[in-house]
Chain A
Amino acid sequence: MGKKIAVTGYSGPKVRSDCEVTLELRIKGGITIDLTSKVRVLYGESIKTLCREMMDFFRIRHAKITINDTGALPFVIAARIEAAVNMLQVTEEYLPEMIRENTYSTTKDRFRFSRLYLPGNSPGLMINAGLHSSDGIILDLEDSVAPVKKDEARILVRNALRQIDFRGAERMVRINQGEEGIRDLRSVIPHNVNMILIPKCESREQVVKVNNEIGTIRKKYKIKDQVLLMPIIESALGIENSFEIAKASENVASLAIGLEDYTADLGVPRTIEGKESFYARTRLISAAKAAGIQPVDSVFSDVLDMEGLRQSVQNSKALGFEGMGCIHPRQIAIINAGFTPDTQEIEKSKKIVIAYDEALKQGLGVVALGSKMIDMPVVTRARKTITLAVRTGKLPADWKNEFIASGN
């Protein structure tokens, strides 16, 4: 037999809402639990009960479990314990309840203005993430997780997907590259992931491989809801192949650009004005639009520079991007406001929707606004703009009455 002691999780003066679990398998002596916890008085017994239940579940009869807890929620403690067991023996999955709120699905054409990145092994940032009204929440298994912590993070992210209410935000996971990424999919796909982010995507084949694996998992678990894909282009080669990537599967809904890695690939520093990535961004936008999907921008990395962010969102929108990544919840409101349609767009959309209604009423096959013919997708987009304008309070729900009353 190999090693008998496993340590998972985190503790220390700066750690909050997490715990460190040390599991030592023994050959006799039953289960002993050594708990140090900030919340011992309030939750000591329930933490110990959870430990015993889990040891039972894993059929471990003799072990010493040492827990150093800074207020971890039960799904976090469970993830840390399971990860420790996992390091010592082959295990089944110990799944916390899938809460009812977490069963929603997504659609390809929904807005993706803001997507909030959360490090996949930091539970403290996850619990309230849904309160900040981002369109998507990304549980990241890739760059924010240390290589030795990948297994642990997968379990934590899986539990988070089952237990945390993200309040309607699109449930996204950024997987790792290559085989590690395939392992990620097997852990998370059965737990209602709406969208998978594929990092450092350079070829059509990468997307197909991920998509096929998801297909296999969906079949195995009889998952009906679709799982969408957002390839992230982060290299010169990826940019050159971006149209192919965008068209790789029906499930690709957005194409994102990752500028830190891209500029590194070019061997130039990333600047705020972004001249060095202008070609890449416009090329990617064009490829995405050509494929009929959303191009979405990279993250703005200075979380204190709100004015800089506002500028960056404006530039991004002007180029044709339809969303941006967030690394701090405070960025969400600015990004959402930036990509929300402005008055001009709303006015135009109102006219298109009314013209369409009129055409329908009169049984006309074609919709025209003035002398200009309007395609169906334009109507669809105008409706989306209107829906969003209503949703963001920029337009009253009964705007049509007002529109007609005002003699427009």
Chain B
Amino acid sequence: MAIRTVINAAGRQVPLEINGQRVIPFRGVGKHLPDGRKYAPPIPSCISYPADGNKVVESLEEALVKCGIRNGMTISTHHHLRDGDLISNRIFDIASALGIRDLVWLPSASFPCNDPVIKYLEDGTINRIEGSMNGPLGRFVSEGKMKGTAVLRSHGGRVQAIQDGEVKIDIAVLVAPSADYFGNARGTGGNSSCGVIGYAKTDSMYASKVIVVTDNLVDMPCFPMEIEGNYVDYVVVVDKIGIPEKIISGTTEITRSPDRLLIAELTASFLERSGILKDGVTMQAGAGGTSLAIAVFVHDIMKKKGWKSKFGFGGSTKYMVKMLEEGQMDYILDAQAFDLDAVRSIEKNPGHIPYPVFNAYNYHSKGNLTSMMDIMILGATEIDIEFNGNVVTHSDGYLLHGIGGWQNCLQARNVILPVPLFRDRIPVIVDRVTTLCGPGELIDVIITERGIAINPLRKDLIKSVKGSGLPLRTLKELKDEAEKICGKPEKPEFDDRIVAAIKWIDGTVIDVVRKIHTE
């Protein structure tokens, strides 16, 4: 039974229905403005909860059973424990033992430690994952082995979908490094501190049932709370929610690769010479080695000029903390901390403020942080000559990454993508991106080790660096150079079956990923 497809506003063939639900094809940037009302979870009454506020139950299994876990439910989790998460997999161990089937897992991201859920995808405990797919999980989905269709959303798209009722969470299982018996919880304290749990707020507000799992039960009130106990049904205390050294990388380090450093240097000098970098700038960069190097170079420039950044949005790293502590940044607004210095900073610096992704990234809200950022540094697996970007599949067609906050961040004033021209013979700049995640009209500058391409739509930027001596090229020229060195790549072969849908930040379908053709 074939599902009807249409060509969306980005020229991509997308279905009108995914997992039995009607979906809206992408209509263009800023074109889909829904009316109607937000989703609301059932109304609880306080009388149904312990009058003494103590919601602690014996085990996660008991909590899940009390929440009424059954076939076909949607279970959400957040990813703040990253590769050290010990709880997500256990939910499905329990569900499988209870004989539950066809669950939908809605993580805010998945990590290699979650690979064991593949067996539950195989045995039918889980129907599908709506969230990022990395490594073996991505391979599993790409090869068409998952029963349902994956839905990939950005961090902001996930909270938008939850808020708008596109996904209805039956049970949210939210791990917390510290919590009290009432369910107030935060990201610091205990042995599994991750600093911030900025991805958990939406789930706590919109899920029908909420379970908080902690290994550090503190006295009421657990303050400052990021999750409010009023939203919580049950509290579970376990020995260990995570493996500390895998939750936080001890330290994030700037790249040592000479080529990446060259890209970082070029990026910093572009920011300076174009005048985008200025006193009072707002900016965001990721935790990848190249981004960190850019942050270091930018910090140097700002120090020399005596400039200050008003605020930066995390994920925070020690390099951002350094800017804060040395006086080149007034505030870090932070949805997640990447290293130990960042965690320590949250505990001691009043200017380092936990800031939920619900507030930072949600497109269906009365404004958000993304459009306030002057400089946004992002990556991509592929960019095409129309400046369109791909972050979820590689050129070989396999799903390998989640979208993260990437799509949301495209709303910033100046979106800069520092990328190598090719990675081990795999070209980054291509004729047409394998999977479309971000429309080219939102991507402003591509910076490679062999030149800088500015989107022709940004005449102001082109003018600003005229005569600066920066190596300006067109994307076509860069692509041709890559092909001269690497050869012209062949295309992966796909079957018709759709294995994943890529949502745009407004909830419409911008593209799909099809099953990789295997001989």
Are B424 and A39 interface neighbours, CB within 8 A?
A: yes
Q: Select the stretch in B193-201, B312-320, B484-492 that faces chain A.
A: B484-492
B389 at the binding interface (Cβ < 8 Å): no
A328 to B423, CA, bound (A): 20
Query: Provided the pairs A17-B424, A128-B259, A330-B258 are in contact, do residues A43 and B450 lie with their beta carbons within 8 angstroms?
Result: no
Partner of B397, one of A41, A131, A329: A41
A183 adjacent to chain B (CB < 8 Å): no
Contact between chains at A41 and B492 (CB < 8 Å): yes
In the bound complex, what is the Cα–Cα distance between A209 and B340 (angstroms)? Answer: 61
Q: Is B395 an interface residue (CB 8 A)?
A: yes
Does B262 reach chain A (CB closer than 8 Å)? yes
Contact at A42–B258, with CB atoms within 8 Å? no
Asked whether A132 lies within 8 Å of B424 as measured between CB atoms, the reply is no
Judged by a CB distance under 8 angstroms, whether B378 is at the interface is no
A43: chain B residues within 8 A (beta carbon): 425, 486-487, 489-490
Q: Is A55 an interface residue (CB 8 A)?
A: no
Q: Which of A26-73 contact B (CB under 8 A)?
A: 38-46, 70-73
Q: How far is the CB of A309 from chain B (nearest CB, A)?
A: 14
- Chain B residue at smallest Cβ distance from A44: B490
> Which of A45, A46, A132 is within 8 Å of B258, CB to CB?
A132
Tell me whether B261 is interfacial, beta carbon within 8 Å: yes
Residues of B within 8 A of A46 (CB): 487, 490
From B259, B395, B424, B486, give the contact of A131 (CB < 8 A): B259
Task: Given the known inter-chain contacts A43-B490, A71-B425, please indicate yes or no for A329 contacting B396, CB distance below 8 A.
Answer: no
Contact B424 A38 (CB under 8 A): yes
**In the complex the two chains form, is B490's CB within 8 Å of A128's CB?**
no
A44 to B519, CA, bound (A): 14
Interface residues of B in 421-437 (CB under 8 A from A): 423-426
Question: A283 on the interface (CB 8 Å rule)?
Answer: no
Whether, in the assembled complex, A310 has its beta carbon less than 8 Å from a beta carbon of chain B, the answer is: no
Residue of A nearest to B261 (CB): A330
**B374 at the binding interface (Cβ < 8 Å):** no
Residues of A within 8 A of B490 (CB): 41-46
Q: What residues on B are CB-neighbors of A354 within 8 Å? A: none
Q: How far is the CA of A74 from the CA of B425 in the complex (A)?
A: 9
In the complex, the answer to whether B397 meets A132 with C-beta atoms within 8 Å is: no
Q: What residues of B have a CB within 8 angstroms of the CB of A16 in the complex? A: 424
User: B449 at the A/B interface (Cβ < 8 Å)?
Assistant: yes
How long is the Cα–Cα vector from A74 to B489 in the complex, in angstroms? Answer: 12
Q: Across the interface, which residues of B come within 8 angstroms of A38, CB to CB?
A: 424-426
| Cβ of A88 under 8 Å from chain B | no
Whether B487 and A41, one on each chain, are in contact in the complex, defined by CB atoms closer than 8 angstroms, is no
C-alpha gap A74/B424 in the complex (Å): 12
B396 / chain A contacts, CB cutoff of 8 Å: 39-42
Residue of B396, B469, B485 with most chain A CB atoms under a 10 A cut-off: B485
Chain B residues contacting A334 (CB-CB under 8 Å) are none
Of B258, B424, B425, the contact of A329 (CB 8 Å cutoff): B258
A127 contacts chain B at the CB level, 8 A cutoff: yes
A393 CA to B468 CA in the complex, in Å?
Answer: 12
Residues of B within 8 A of A71 (CB): 423-426
User: What range describes how many residues of A lie at the interface?
Assistant: 20 to 34
- For B258, give the chain A residue with the smallest CB separation: A329
Closest CB of chain A to B265's CB: distance in Å? 9
In chain B between 145 and 191, which residues have their CB closer than 8 angstroms to a CB of chain A? none
- Chain B residues whose CB sits within 8 angstroms of the CB of A128 once the complex forms: 258-259, 262, 449
Q: What is the predominant secondary structure among interface residues of chain B facing chain A?
A: loop
**What sequence of 0s and 1s flags, for each residue 106-125 of chain B, a beta carbon within 8 Å of any chain A beta carbon?**
00000000000000000000
Report the Cα distance A16→B259, complex, angstroms: 14
CB <8 Å contact, B425 and A72 = yes
Q: Within the assembled complex, what's the spacing in Å between the Cα atoms of A16 and B426? A: 12
Say which residue of A41, A74, A330, A393 sits within 8 Å of B395 (CB atoms): A41
Q: Closest CB-CB distance, B404 to chain A, in whole Å? A: 24
Q: A42 touches which one: B395, B449, B450 (CB < 8 A)? A: B395
CB distance from A211 to the nearest CB of B (A): 34
Judge whether A42 and B426 touch: CB under 8 Å: yes
List, in ascending order, chain B residues with CB within 8 A of A72's CB: 425
Chain A residues whose C-beta falls within 8 Å of the C-beta of B426 in the assembled complex:
38-39, 42, 71
Q: How far is the CB of A164 from chain B (nearest CB, A)?
A: 9
Q: Mark A105-140, 1 if CB is under 8 A from B, else 0.
A: 000000000000000000000011001100000000
Q: Of the candidates B261, B423, B425, which one forms a contact with A73 in the assembled complex, judged by CB atoms under 8 Å apart?
A: B425
Contact A42 B489 (CB under 8 A): yes
Residues of B near A132 (CB, < 8 A) are 258, 262
Bound state CA distance, A17 and B450, in angstroms?
A: 18
Question: Which of A40, A71, A328 has its CB near the most chain B CB atoms (within 10 A)?
Answer: A71
| Residue in chain B with minimal CB distance to A17 | B424
Which residues in B have their C-beta under 8 angstroms from that of A73? 425, 485-486
In the bound complex, residues from chain B placing their C-beta under 8 Å from that of A328 are 258
Q: Which residues of B contact A74 (CB under 8 A)?
A: 487
Count chain B CB atoms within 10 A of each CB in A16, A40, A43, A45 and give the residue with the most: A43
* Cα of A72 to Cα of B258 in the assembled complex, Å: 19
Cα-based distance from A41 to B469 in the complex (angstroms): 38
Chain B residues in 8 Å Cβ range of A330: 258, 261
Mark each residue of chain B from 449 to 487: 1 if its CB lies under 8 Å from any CB of chain A, else 0: 110000000000000000001000000000000000111
CB distance from A48 to the nearest CB of B (A): 11
A218-B192 Cα distance, complex, nearest whole Å: 69
Given the complex of chains A and B, what is the CA–CA distance between A71 and B428 in angstroms? 14
**Residues of chain A contacted by B469 (CB below 8 angstroms):** 393
- B424 to chain A: which residues have CB within 8 Å? 16-17, 38-39, 70-71
Closest chain-A Cβ to B301's Cβ sits at a distance in Å of 16
Q: B425, A39: Cβ atoms under 8 Å? A: yes
Chain B residue contacts of A17, Cβ below 8 A? 424-425
Judging by beta carbons under 8 Å apart, are A131 and B485 in contact? Answer: no
Q: Which residue of chain A lies nearest to B424 when distances are taken between CB atoms in the complex?
A: A71
Q: Which residue of A lies closest to B493 (CB)?
A: A41
Chain B min CB distance to A208 (Å): 37
CA A44 to CA B425, docked complex, whole Å: 12
Q: Which residues of A contact B486 (CB under 8 A)?
A: 43, 73
A188 → chain B closest CB, angstroms = 21
Question: How long is the Cα–Cα vector from A192 to B261 in the complex, in angstroms?
Answer: 30
* Contact between chains at A131 and B450 (CB < 8 Å): yes
Interface string of B235-265 (1 = CB under 8 A from A): 0000000000000000000000011011000
Closest to A124 in B: B424
Shortest CB distance A197–B (Å): 22
- What CA separation (Å) do A118 and B345 show in the bound complex? 42
Question: A127 and B487: CB pair below 8 A?
Answer: no
CB-CB < 8 A to B395: which residues of A? 41-42
Distance between Cα atoms of A9 and B140 in the complex (Å) = 32
Given the complex of chains A and B, what is the CA–CA distance between A45 and B259 in angstroms? 29
In the assembled complex, which residues on chain A have CB atoms less than 8 Å from the CB atom of B487? 43, 46, 74
Whether B449 lies near A131 (C-beta < 8 A) is yes
- What separation, in Å, do the CA atoms of A113 and B100 have in the docked complex? 71
Interface digits, A325-350 against B, CB 8 Å rule (1 contact, 0 not)?
00011100000000000000000000
Most buried by B among A38, A42, A132, A393: A42
Chain A contacts with B in 294-317, Cβ cutoff 8 A: none
**Contact between A131 and B262, CB atoms less than 8 A apart:** yes
Distance (Å) between the CB of B155 and the closest chain A CB? 29
Among B382-402, those with CB < 8 Å from A are 395-397
Contact sample, A vs B, 11 pairs, CB 8 Å cutoff: A39-B426, A41-B395, A41-B396, A42-B425, A42-B492, A43-B489, A44-B490, A46-B487, A71-B426, A131-B259, A330-B261
Interface of A with B (CB < 8 Å)? Answer: 16-17, 38-46, 70-74, 127-128, 131-132, 328-330, 393
7 new A-B contacts, CB < 8 A, other than A71-B425, A127-B485, are A41-B396, A42-B395, A42-B489, A43-B490, A45-B490, A46-B490, A328-B258
Instruction: Sort A-B residue pairs by CB-CB distance and give the 10 closest, nearest first.
Output: A71-B424, A329-B258, A42-B489, A41-B396, A71-B425, A41-B492, A128-B259, A39-B425, A16-B424, A131-B449
